[in-house]
Structure 1
Amino acid sequence: MKTITQFVAGQQLPPYTKDKVTKVQLVQYAGASGDFNPLHTDDTFAQKIGMPGVIAHGMLVMGFLGEYVNKIAGDAALVKNFNMRFGAMTFPKDVITCNGIVKDVYEENGKQMVVVTVTAEKGPEQIVGTGEATLEFQ
């Protein structure tokens, strides 16, 4: 079980790498989210609008970062705040690695808090998303 004492400002957290993004995953995400924009599911459509093929939903990448934040929190903390900004496009066959750095550790209203900055990237200097989460330890 994780405890607040395991976190210090500036600490690099262990990375989390997802499997390659697949076209099947994009179709499954479209069904789960209700976002059936053909840009995410139809290569021909995507190519007609100037893309090399379909791209992943930005919210899928946010889901990857959310999964990572929940792994950091474990059973010891609640995710109290989570936000994200989109970056580069994610394509099928991209491998996304999530990284985190502890930004701050503090106490608020008797609760122990940790702020984590997170990044999702598909390669060196190819950031597909950045964000920040606040964890409240129980």
Structure 2
Amino acid sequence: MATQIAYKDVEIGTELPAAVFPVTRDTLVRYAGASGDFNPIHWNEKFALEVGLPDVIAHGMFTMAEAVRVVTDWVGDPGAVVEYGVRFTRPVVVPNDDKGAVIEVSAKIGDKLDDNRVRVDLTATSEGKKVLGMSRAVVQLA
């Protein structure tokens, strides 16, 4: 499915629809099964505490994937994302309760590039603290 968003119709500073992604311990176990990453810091509270973490934490790649969903939902075609990178600044702590944690993501057009591409700057937070830094995607538009 090709993107229907035209480069000429996008302005620097335009905000993409923000999203909130819930994360529970169940989510982490399912992600571990899908990714093959069974590091105990993602499911074993005792182990996470022993290695100095505040609690079980979400996988970095899971956090990164949830954040870019704001971009893929906006553009309508995951293949339109031609580049994506982040810096992990803080883990998403996932308590063992009915609520878990949430990852809140906002994004805006940061720059218009050559060849109908735009740079999208993302902000991802959990508990009001930034969990990804320098989070940017380059998207190919029509």
Under TM normalisation by the shorter chain, which class is it?
Answer: 0.7 to 0.9
Residue aligned with 2:47, SS:
helix
Match status 1:127 vs 2:134: no
The answer for the alignment partner of 2:118 in structure 1 is: 114
Shift of 1:75: 4.2
Going from structure 1 to structure 2, the CA distance change for 1:39 and 1:76 (only over 3 Å counts) comes to closer
CA distance in 2: counterparts of 1:63 and 1:11, whole angstroms: 22
Match status 1:44 vs 2:51: no
- Aligned identity (percent) is 33
Please tell me whether the aligned partners of residues 72 and 78 of structure 2 are also in contact (alpha carbons under 8 angstroms).
no
Shift of 1:32: 1.1
Going from structure 1 to structure 2, the CA distance change for 1:48 and 1:76 (only over 3 Å counts) comes to closer
- Which of 97, 116, 141 is matched with 1:137 structurally? 141
TM-score normalised according to structure 2 size: 0.83
Q: Name stretches of at least 5 consecutive residues in structure 1 with no aligned partner.
A: none
Shift of 1:34: 1.0
Post-superposition CA distance 1:96-120 (Å, at most 9, x none):
1111121112432xxx111111121
Residue aligned with 1:107, SS:
coil
- Which of 11, 22, 45 is matched with 1:8 structurally? 11
The answer for the alignment partner of 2:112 in structure 1 is: 105
Match status 1:64 vs 2:71: no
Q: Name stretches of at least 5 consecutive residues in structure 2 with no aligned partner.
A: 95-99
Shift of 1:123: 3.7
CA distance in 1: counterparts of 2:79 and 2:11, whole angstroms: 15
Post-superposition CA distance 1:74-108 (Å, at most 9, x none):
14971111111111110222211111121112432
Q: Supply the AA of the counterpart residue of 2:30.
A: Q
Could you list the runs of 4 or more consecutive aligned residues of structure 1 that deviate by over 3 angstroms after TM superposition?
none
